[in-house]
A and B are shown apart, each in its own frame.
Chain A
Amino acid sequence: MPRVRIKVDGVTYEDEVEPRLLLVHYLRERLGKVGTPVGCDTTNCGACTVLLDGLSVKSCSVLAVQADGREITTVEGLGPGGELHPMQRAFHTEHALQCGFCTPGMIMASIDLLRENADPSEAEIREGLEGNLCRCTGYQNIVRAVRRAAEEMRQAPEREVTS
């Protein structure tokens, strides 16, 4: 079995993994990083979105072995020291979640979106989140939350910390 060395939320892990092990299952079942859920089989829903070397990926369509030597950030690794990331705060403030199952992926995708575009319009936010499905919110408050976080992060960019 291949041996991998993966840094997840600031901690380096070394493990032997079956090649077919999905990254999301590695995170959830080997590392106990259950904050990242699985919502589909076809990369459509985005619930499992994490950052791989800083870029959003759907961890259900990446093999754990492909993350060898890479760095993963999950929703659990945002805002070190117990402080919330501005995006997490904005999701709370704008009531951008109900059941919360899509939320980890939605937050990670939104952080990625702002990395690309610090001041997105409503249309750009909606398009940028096309790969993350939510069944509860109708997305309106998610859009608001991303705008709020964008504003906050533009004003205080040093707070943009991802582990």
Chain B
Amino acid sequence: MTETVAGREIGSARRRSEDARLITGRTQWTDNLQLPGMCHVAFLRSPYAHARITGVDAAEARQRPGVVAVFTGADLADEQGSLPCAWPVTEDMRHPDHPPMAVDHVRYVGEPVACVVARDRYAAADALEAIDVDYEPLTPVLDMEQAVADGADLVHADLGTNSSYTWVFENGDLDAALRDAPVLIERRYVQQRLIPTAMEPRAVVCAPEGDGFTLWSATQIPHILRLMLATVTGIPEHRLRVIAPDVGGGFGSKLQVYGEEVLALLLARRLGRPIKWTESRSEGNLTVHHGRDQIQRLTLAAERDGTIRGLKVDLLADMGAYLMLVTPGIPLLGAFMFNGIYKMDAYSFTCTGVFTNKTPTDAYRGAGRPEATFAIERLMDELAAELDLDPIEVRRRNWIRHEEFPYDTIAGLTYDSGNYEAATDKALHLFEYDTLRAEQADRRERRDPVQLGIGVSTFTEMCGLAPSRVLGSLSYGAGGWEHASVRVLPSGKVEVVTGSSAHGQGHETAWAQITADRLGVPFEDVRVLHGDTSVSPKGMDTYGSRSLAVGGIALVNACDKVVDKARRVAAHLLEAAEEDLEFTGGRFSVRGVPDQARTIQEVALAAFAAHDLPDGVEPSLDSDATFDPDNFSFPHGTHLCAVEVDTETGFVRIRSYVAVDDVGLVVNPLIVEGQVHGGLAQGIAQALYEEAVYDAEGNLTTTTMADYLIPSAADLPHFVTDRTETPATTNPLGVKGVGEAGTIASTPAVVNAIVDALRPYGVRDVPMPCTPERVWRALNEQEGSA
């Protein structure tokens, strides 16, 4: 049950503790590390999307100045193992070997084929050019629909197919719905391939230390990485320490076990000295896992009054050339979300994972849920247009009403709480919906070359990944719990250790806020430690908007255990019964005798000295706890976007954007707002700017930031953000998670707005990203056919 804590820290807009080092340049990025004797490694990468390696000549490179060693895939074949996939989604999933460095085949441009270890990065880069690799090119497989057709060329010849798996979920009588419903909306949408583009390129440093190795990496997942490095290399887990120092953004791209991390460890072992690798941006665009990349075939069945009967979803999901850590599971995270916030009688979801000769895909902000949300929110607008209803109205007729929670959805989830009416009403008010509709009508009337469009997205998502038993039922290789420990030091200062691994989210601040309130200590007295497996022994790391909804609750539990223990000690010191003690503001006092009291700091010192502890109480005031949620959390909200479309050039300008999000209780409104802003930017970027493009030979043509367009401040609008607060009922704080909401919600809001602007011209879709040329073409095709 929800126990909303309204302390003085929780809910306050604390400025972040992290900032002190980040605004002064006193950061510790992995690439900053310089260790005695450290060598730099550089990788030679395949220029072919698909080829057989017939020979590698590294003799000349070995003679280059400053070169310590050169290794090919063959040199490391016996020890490099295969990169892990922790999510075998079906029993018969085809899962090819994935050597960290290619041995005899390359299957995407950028796959490493050899490496140079040298005294500095300049020497390493120079020597790469002296390595000669002979390739026998093979036909690349680049198109998913062709890849699953009969007679297709194969990415992995030994698998006999390009299909990795087909995963099905069905509920209700969809055939009946499709047969009987008077309205069928059939669409094919493409979720283009995206490059996550965290600002910090990947970097890894590995040093032999004592009888083991310490590995620093720009990773979101130090704990999972340690386990996987042990599994892949056979080096015992307890001989490995993994540190995620300051990490410059991830967005899912650093939720991975990369070949370069494994190889850095192997090279450090081979050479007995520290090894550093730092990627360049263009190398990263080729080799950091990509996101999205789905072809969606959708059929929505509805009554003429707009009531949805059922939804059929048929996906092809591009895995790329190999299955990486959670590659096959990403599209399935969307399986439970295609129904959105709507009620329906029948639902069918089929997803086929397809191998292609492209960079592997995996989690990117939202991971499966943006794709699903886009589909249903676009379909709702199409349904509204088909029935000549307002898009808000058609949603109202179908969404789960606030009094219907908890609600078991057609996709098998139980939404614990929500209030779609409240969020929508607030958003409509802030947006001045009716005024903008009037302006739209006026521009249409005038045939203004700049048309106005309004897009709606009433989204929900599942986050707080995840109940371990649910993950188990989906064959995921690990649990979804999180760990925290709290130590009240003898001086009364507090150290918090979290298994969550922040890389921009502000845990050091938010966790201190929670702790300050739960323990009644000053915010400044709390220090939060994370991202080092020797400091934080247990953890499941940071992804899937899980940190607060899972890790935050573990922290609450750990704090509460500390208070319980302190209560026993305090009762003993005060010679009072535990049940007679009140704990407020960090002070235990005897009910009715307020001056008989001990502060938690005094109790901590007494517990440290241990001169006089009650029987059975161990010295020191600390505790740890884990939390494994019973359910996901379900943030939701209503986003409204107005765009101006220049019908002459196809250029789209976002005129206004309103986001009302319901993320449950808010620990730090500043951090929440920042997460929403950043999420919006990335979701809008999918709608308008970003796409990883391959040419006919399988070369990525968007390897630099000059070609893969990341929006700047000048390209994005001012956002109006607000919140409603419907607490989650599945955790004691009532929190839900906010890391992905903005990204999930905004893409369909923008595309809906563009299509809305152009609907009078007969346009009913513009493929993403909605570049000026695509908008212009959509208009032109209509005019041509009219």
Contact = CB atoms under 8 A, between A and B. Distances in A.
A contacts B directly (C-beta below 8 A) = yes
B25 A97 contact: no
Query: At the interface, is chain A mostly helix, strand, loop or mixed?
Result: loop
Contacts of A103: 22-23
Interface string B673-684: 111111111100
Contact of A18 (B15, B122, B675, B678): B122
A137 B677 contact: yes
Contacts of B696: none
A120 to B, nearest CB: 12
B504 A84 contact: no
A125 interface: yes
A97 B505 CA distance: 10
Interface stretch (A35-43, A62-70, A155-163): A35-43
B678 A98 contact: yes
Interface stretch (B2-10, B554-562, B617-625, B703-711): B703-711
B545 to A, nearest CB: 14
A28 interface: yes
A99 B248 contact: yes
Contact of A45 (B19, B20, B670, B705): B705
Interface in A95-134: 95, 97-104, 107, 122, 125-127, 129-134
A98 B198 contact: no
A88 interface: yes
Contacts of B201: 38-39
B712 interface: yes
Contact of B678 (A40, A131, A136): A136
Contacts of A21: 122
B251 A74 contact: no
Nearest to A76: B25
Contact of A40 (B18, B34, B704): B704
Nearest to A107: B23
B25 A99 contact: no
Interface stretch (B53-61, B401-409, B714-722): B714-722
B199 interface: yes
Contacts of B21: 100
Interface string B12-33: 0001101111111111010110
B281 interface: yes
Given A47-B199, A100-B27, A138-B677, A131 B248 contact: no
A34 B32 contact: yes
B534 to A, nearest CB: 23
Contacts, number: 182
A51 B21 CA distance: 20
A41 B122 contact: no
Given A28-B32, A42-B281, A135-B197, A99 B503 contact: yes
A101 B248 CA distance: 5
Contacts of B251: 135
Given A126-B714, A140-B718, A97 B23 contact: yes
A143 B714 CA distance: 10
Given A29-B34, A37-B31, A100-B504, A95 B713 contact: no
B282 interface: yes
A3 interface: no
B506 interface: yes
A75 interface: yes
**Size bracket of the A interface:** 35 or more
Contact of B677 (A28, A92, A141): A141
B505 A44 contact: no
B628 interface: no
Contacts of A101: 29, 198-200, 248-249
A142 interface: yes
B462 interface: no
Contacts of A107: 23
B559 to A, nearest CB: 25
Given A99-B247, A101-B200, A92 B15 contact: yes
B746 to A, nearest CB: 10
Interface string A16-54: 001011000100110011111111111011010000000
B372 interface: no
Task: Point out which of B19, B282, B503, B506 has the most chain A C-beta atoms below 10 A from its C-beta.
Answer: B19
A33 B693 CA distance: 36
B740 interface: no
Nearest to B22: A100
Nearest to A40: B281
A100 B713 contact: no
A27 B678 CA distance: 30
Given A40-B705, A131-B712, A104 B25 contact: yes
Nearest to A133: B710
A61 interface: no
Contacts of B681: 135, 137-139
A40 B248 CA distance: 13
A93 interface: yes
Given A18-B122, A130-B714, A42 B199 contact: no
Interface string B745-770: 00000000000000000000000000
A93 B23 CA distance: 11
A147 B514 CA distance: 31
Nearest to B251: A135
Nearest to A144: B718
A84 B23 contact: yes
Given A40-B281, A101-B199, A135 B249 contact: yes
B505 A93 contact: no
B503 to A, nearest CB: 6
Contact of B25 (A36, A135, A139): A36
Given A126-B713, A139-B712, A74 B25 contact: yes
Contacts of B20: 92
Contact of A135 (B246, B673, B674, B682): B682
Contact of B282 (A41, A97, A134, A142): A41
A139 B716 contact: yes
A18 B682 CA distance: 40
Contacts of B713: 125-127, 129-130, 132, 134, 139, 142-143
Contacts of A88: 23-24
Contact of A34 (B29, B198, B671, B705): B29
A49 to B, nearest CB: 12
A136 B120 CA distance: 31
A56 to B, nearest CB: 15
B63 interface: no
Contact of B200 (A36, A37, A133): A37
Nearest to B196: A135
Contact of B19 (A38, A91, A142): A91
Contacts of B139: none
A132 B20 CA distance: 21
Contacts of A100: 18-19, 21-23, 27, 246, 248, 504
B37 to A, nearest CB: 15
Nearest to A125: B713
A-B complex: 3 closest residue pairs judged by Cβ atoms: A35-B25, A100-B22, A101-B248
28 contacts: A20-B122, A28-B32, A34-B25, A34-B29, A37-B29, A37-B200, A41-B281, A44-B706, A75-B25, A76-B24, A92-B16, A95-B670, A97-B22, A98-B249, A98-B506, A101-B199, A107-B23, A126-B713, A127-B713, A134-B199, A134-B713, A136-B504, A136-B674, A138-B677, A138-B679, A139-B716, A140-B718, A143-B713
Interface of A: 18, 20-21, 25, 28-29, 32-42, 44-45, 47, 74-76, 78, 84, 88, 91-93, 95, 97-104, 107, 122, 125-127, 129-143
Interface of B: 15-16, 18-27, 29, 31-32, 34, 120-122, 197-201, 246-249, 251, 280-282, 503-506, 670-671, 673-682, 704-706, 710, 712-714, 716, 718-719, 742
